[in-house]
Amino acid sequence: MAETIENSHSDEKPKPRVRPIVRFGIFLVSHSFLVSIVCFTSGVLALFLLPVLAKNTYISENALMPGSASPMLSNQHVSDGNRLVKDLTNSNLKSSETGIESHKIIAQYMLDVGAEVSFHKFHPQMNQFHPLHFFSSPDSGKIQENYSCSSYGINTVGIIRAPRGDGKEAIVLVTPYNALTSSFGEVLSLGIAYSVFSLLTQVTWLAKDIIWLVADSQFGEYAAVSAWLREYQTPKFSSMSALNAEMCPDINNLFEIEVHSMAGSKFSNSFRRAGTMTAALVLKVRDQSEQFDDTISIYAEASNGQMPNLDLINVVNYLAVHRQGLRVNVEKLWSFLNLGWLKSLGEIFESLANIAKSLNPKFKFGIPATEYVEGTAILASSLYYQALGVPTGPHGAFRDYQVDAITLEISPKFSLDKVWRNDIILRGGRLIEGVIRSVNNLLEKFHQSFFLYLLTSPSKFVSVGVYMIAFALLIAPLPMVAASLYVDSNSSSNCSKGDSSTPSAITDTDEHGITIRSWRWLNSAKLVFIVHLWGAIVSVLPYFICQIPDCSPTTSFMIWVLLSILSLLILNSVLASPFACVKASQEKEWALVKSVTISSVFIGLGLMSVINFATAEIGALLMVPMCLLARPLKLDVRAGTFRSCCRIICNLVLGHIAFPPAAFFLLKGMLDGFGSANVGGFWMWVESLWAWNSATYLFIGMVQLPCWVLCVSILFHSC
């Protein structure tokens, strides 16, 4: 583009016919300011329009057929479940020092209904920061020799083999349970799962094996589930830990379980498997809640914003709402519900929709303002949790192995009397039964429905095709502005040169000048590259810092900041200084730097949108205005107009907001109030990000931070 301009400029007489697409490009570049304003505002607007544009969910896979069979879970099974609940609560009273007893009880119950049972012992594996392990597939963990007997977790696994199935596929039901401090909710979830389990041993329609995993959650729910999955999917065949386990007396006790069952061979202490997992359900019951209805919350976000297939959520939602009369919740940001401006925005959209409806009754895109506000709150939380890249529950462990999984949390109304408990077991059990039956109907794995979506309510979603528009509009101005800046900086210097030299000598010197000038951006590129290199170093630094023993989060953070600044200075002095003098001579150097920065941000955002869309979206909201507005303060101060004053203010505000820690505190303050935000909190947050292998961490370290540094350096550029 730039060259065509140059060409057209150099020889005036003939007007070369420029092709329309190029002409359009030139038009956009030349009006980049207007275009960027239009694009950015429409991008933000499109983001706020998403709740309005959300579509109703529908069951895409026909084979699922949810709710087409009447539930078979009867009172018999409910009383079975109730018996387990009673026994577990009693055993807790008896001996609560070890959880062995309750695991034995669960195993005995599983055996009684004719399932195969095995125990799985595991060591909780601490999540460590491995700089090179981002995006790598989960490996079977390190073998650590010095485990003590006390740090064992025991998962109890029961497997029902489908009577006529071929055993190629399996459905997993997970109930986290901490035997040491078992809350009533956990026990109740076991009761629900057991009632379903005892039903499933009798049914004839089963085509897939059923695995019931009672995950020992004393080291966290996720750790237990992921340890089991690791053993299931990537077992270590030569391990010492198995031998160690046998040395612990408690564990041995466990395996001497008295089996009076009709099938003594069904119990084994070896790890048992079923086939390829098709879907997994994690079932939890919340202890106390202030809900007015029996509600069920769905958690779906796995690591790096991966979502399970939408059909799984649809099936649960359909069965819960239309069959069991439960209210379905998905997470929302409660603080959004009280925002006045959001409500008024919703009202504006509503009135606009009404006008459109009065024009043509077929235009039905409006939603009521309250629904809009709620949709926005859910959308925001959906974006937030996807962007965080940290799974919202134990289901996240399954997604690492490409298994669709969700967590269902039932929060019952209140009270603990028996009738109510039976009711909860019956309804929860029927829901689980229905979901398992639907998944059981599947001939293929989940593939029909969406994997990339944002929820705006349990029954409404925004698909990737719609939400991409907002993001595309946000980042569209970046390449145009970069191009126009580049062209400007080139042509302005060109013009000034052209005036001074004689017209006859133009062709000769220009050839040389153009080649030099057109490579001048390399200097800026080098600067940008150095800053990005620094970003990479900063992202790796925490690995070394966390090796320092006895370090509070605050001091760690301080060390991190100091080291970062130090490394920036060193890098700058080592790599950037020799050419600084060359750069200083350039007048419009900041424009070139800005242009290259914007290009790199564009590439970074584009890449990130592929890995984790939500992070890219939020990042774009922060970084795009900062990049676009960045301009040396000196210039604006010199100009002294109203427009430049505005720009100074905007720049200063954005420069503060877009700094990652500042953004974190702001977000934290918005969500939880500013009292809880402190310096150590940021360190903890970062730690959790890298522990979960979140790509957001890389994004912050290698895209956002360098961009912020570059923008700040542009702001304070001396020109």
Partner 1 sequence: MALLRRPLLLLLIVTHQFLQLWIAFGSVNEEGQKQEEFYEELLLKPLPDRKVLTHFHFQSSAPPTSNGRHHHLFPKAISQLVQKFRVKEMELSFTQGRWNYESWGGFDSIPSSNAKPPGVELWAVFDVPQHLIDPLWKNLTHTLSGLFCASINFLESSTAYSAPEWSFPLASGSLRYGTLPREAVCTENITPWLKLLPCRDKAGISTLLDRPSIYRGFYHSQRLHLTSTGSGSEGMDLGIMLEQTLTVVLQPISQRASLVRDSEKHIQPSWSLSSIFGKQVSGKCVLAETSNVYLLLDRGLVAELKQLHKENEKSIENSLTSENFWTNPSFELSAKPDRIFIEECSLLSKNSSVLYKFEVEKYSEFEPFDLGITWKIPIVWLCQQAPLHASRFLTGSGNERGAIAISLKSTQTTEGFMGAHSNDERCELRVDVFQVVPWYVKVYFHSLQVFVDQQPKAVSDIIEKIHISPSKDKVSPGVMELVLKLPCSMSSTALTIEFDKGFLHIDEYPPDANQGFDIPSAIVSFPNFHASMVFLESDSLNKSPLLSKFQEWSHVMSYTEVLLVPLTTPDFSMPYNVITITCTVFALYFGSLLNALRRRVAEEERFLKDKSAKKTGQLPLLLSKLSAKLRGRRSEPPHSSPVSSSFINSKLVFKVILIAGLAVCWQYYFL
Does 359 participate in binding partner 1 (rule CB under 8 A)? yes
Which of helix, strand or coil describes residue 56?
Answer: strand
Q: Which is nearer to partner 1, 27 or 365 (CB)?
A: 27
Q: Which is nearer to partner 1, 137 or 288 (CB)?
A: 137
Residue entry with tokens 């200063």 = 652
Q: What is the DSSP letter of 493?
A: H
Report, in Å, the least distance between residue 200 CB and partner 1.
15
Report, in Å, the least distance between residue 507 CB and partner 1.
15
Token couple for 220: 């966290």
Which of helix, strand or coil describes residue 299?
Answer: strand
- The CA angle 433-412-421, to the nearest 5 degrees, is 70
Q: State the sign of the Cα–Cα–Cα–Cα dihedral 392, 393, 395, 400.
A: positive
Does 62 participate in binding partner 1 (rule CB under 8 A)? no
Phi, psi angle pair for 45, to nearest 5°: -65, -40
Residues 6 or more apart whose CB falls under 8 angstroms from that of 437 comprise 69, 205
Report, in Å, the least distance between residue 527 CB and partner 1.
29
What is the total count of residues that contact partner 1 (CB under 8 A)? Answer: 58
For residues 217 and 221, what is the distance between their CA atoms, to the nearest angstrom? 4
Report, in Å, the least distance between residue 380 CB and partner 1.
31
Cα 535 from chain centroid?
22
Does 205 participate in binding partner 1 (rule CB under 8 A)? no
Report, in Å, the least distance between residue 135 CB and partner 1.
11
Which of helix, strand or coil describes residue 237?
Answer: coil
Does 358 participate in binding partner 1 (rule CB under 8 A)? no
- CB burial of residue 70 (10 Å; 0-12, 13-18, 19+): exposed
Q: Which is nearer to partner 1, 205 or 716 (CB)?
A: 205
Q: Which is nearer to partner 1, 262 or 610 (CB)?
A: 262
Q: Which stretch binds partner 1 (CB under 8 A): 16-24, 181-189, 346-354, 705-713?
A: 16-24
Q: Which stretch binds partner 1 (CB under 8 A): 157-165, 302-310, 596-604, 693-701?
A: 157-165
Q: Which stretch binds partner 1 (CB under 8 A): 100-108, 375-383, 398-406, 574-582?
A: 398-406
Token couple for 520: 């001048």
For residues 183 and 289, what is the distance between their CA atoms, to the nearest angstrom? 14
> Using the rule CB under 8 A, which residue among 94, 362, 418, 512 binds partner 1?
362
Does 23 participate in binding partner 1 (rule CB under 8 A)? yes
Token couple for 197: 């389990």
> Using the rule CB under 8 A, which residue among 48, 147, 161, 248 binds partner 1?
161
> Using the rule CB under 8 A, which residue among 86, 130, 133, 168 binds partner 1?
168
Report, in Å, the least distance between residue 236 CB and partner 1.
8
Report, in Å, the least distance between residue 110 CB and partner 1.
15
Token couple for 200: 């499933």
Could you tell me the end-to-end alpha-carbon distance of the chain, in angstroms, rounded to an integer? 27
Does 364 participate in binding partner 1 (rule CB under 8 A)? no
- CB burial of residue 235 (10 Å; 0-12, 13-18, 19+): exposed
Q: Which is nearer to partner 1, 87 or 687 (CB)?
A: 87
Nearest to 294 by CA among 414, 184, 193: 414
Q: Which stretch binds partner 1 (CB under 8 A): 12-20, 179-187, 371-379, 609-617?
A: 12-20
Q: Which is nearer to partner 1, 401 or 590 (CB)?
A: 401
> Using the rule CB under 8 A, which residue among 89, 125, 201, 239 binds partner 1?
239
Does 293 participate in binding partner 1 (rule CB under 8 A)? no
Report, in Å, the least distance between residue 48 CB and partner 1.
26
For residues 258 and 79, what is the distance between their CA atoms, to the nearest angstrom? 24
Q: Which long-range contacts (CB under 8 A, 24 or more apart) does 584-590 make?
A: 586/520, 586/523, 587/493, 587/719, 588/488, 588/489, 588/492, 588/493, 588/719, 589/523, 589/524, 589/717, 589/719, 590/631, 590/632, 590/714, 590/717, 590/719
Q: Is residue 390 a contact partner of residue 690, using CB atoms and an 8 Å limit?
A: no
Phi, psi angle pair for 156, to nearest 5°: -100, 130
Q: Which is nearer to partner 1, 136 or 585 (CB)?
A: 136
> Using the rule CB under 8 A, which residue among 62, 148, 204, 415 binds partner 1?
204
Does 26 participate in binding partner 1 (rule CB under 8 A)? yes
Which of helix, strand or coil describes residue 603?
Answer: helix
Q: Is residue 429 a contact partner of residue 78, using CB atoms and an 8 Å limit?
A: yes
For residues 224 and 237, what is the distance between their CA atoms, to the nearest angstrom? 20
> Using the rule CB under 8 A, which residue among 237, 292, 341, 642 binds partner 1?
237
The helix, strand and coil proportions of the chain, stated in percent and rounded to the nearest 5, come to 60, 10, 30
Q: Provide the total of helices (H) and of strands (E) in the chain, helices listed first.
A: 28, 11
Report, in Å, the least distance between residue 150 CB and partner 1.
23
Report, in Å, the least distance between residue 26 CB and partner 1.
6
Instruction: Annotate each residue in 467-506 with x if it binds partner 1 (CB under 8 A) or - if it does not, as one string.
Output: ----------------------------------------
Token couple for 16: 């070369």
> Using the rule CB under 8 A, which residue among 2, 67, 167, 691 binds partner 1?
167
Q: Which is nearer to partner 1, 447 or 643 (CB)?
A: 447
> Using the rule CB under 8 A, which residue among 100, 127, 134, 273 binds partner 1?
273
> Using the rule CB under 8 A, which residue among 6, 89, 96, 165 binds partner 1?
165
Does 512 participate in binding partner 1 (rule CB under 8 A)? no
- CB burial of residue 60 (10 Å; 0-12, 13-18, 19+): middle
Positions in 85-144 near partner 1 (CB under 8 A): 112, 114, 137-138
Q: Is residue 141 a contact partner of residue 230, using CB atoms and an 8 Å limit?
A: yes
Q: Is residue 411 a contact partner of residue 295, using CB atoms and an 8 Å limit?
A: yes
Element (H, E) at 121: strand 116-122
Token couple for 638: 């010199």
Positions in 424-443 near partner 1 (CB under 8 A): 443
Report, in Å, the least distance between residue 620 CB and partner 1.
25
Q: Which is nearer to partner 1, 112 or 510 (CB)?
A: 112
Residues 6 or more apart whose CB falls under 8 angstroms from that of 282 comprise 174, 175, 176, 221, 225, 393, 394, 395, 405, 406, 407, 408
Q: Which stretch binds partner 1 (CB under 8 A): 18-26, 340-348, 377-385, 641-649?
A: 18-26
Does 352 participate in binding partner 1 (rule CB under 8 A)? no
> Using the rule CB under 8 A, which residue among 56, 238, 415, 502 binds partner 1?
238
Residues 6 or more apart whose CB falls under 8 angstroms from that of 243 comprise none
Does 638 participate in binding partner 1 (rule CB under 8 A)? no
Q: Which is nearer to partner 1, 76 or 252 (CB)?
A: 76
Positions in 515-574 near partner 1 (CB under 8 A): none
Q: Is residue 548 a contact partner of residue 586, using CB atoms and an 8 Å limit?
A: no
Does 276 participate in binding partner 1 (rule CB under 8 A)? yes
Q: Which is nearer to partner 1, 356 or 537 (CB)?
A: 356
> Using the rule CB under 8 A, which residue among 3, 10, 27, 548 binds partner 1?
27
Which of helix, strand or coil describes residue 454?
Answer: strand
Does 357 participate in binding partner 1 (rule CB under 8 A)? no
Does 56 participate in binding partner 1 (rule CB under 8 A)? no
Q: Which is nearer to partner 1, 14 or 503 (CB)?
A: 14
Residue entry with tokens 């000196």 = 634
- Chain residues in the site for partner 1 (CB under 8 A): 5, 8, 11, 13-18, 23, 26-27, 30-31, 76, 112, 114, 137-138, 161, 163-169, 204, 233-235, 237-239, 242-243, 260-266, 270, 273, 275-276, 359-360, 362, 400-402, 443-445, 447-448
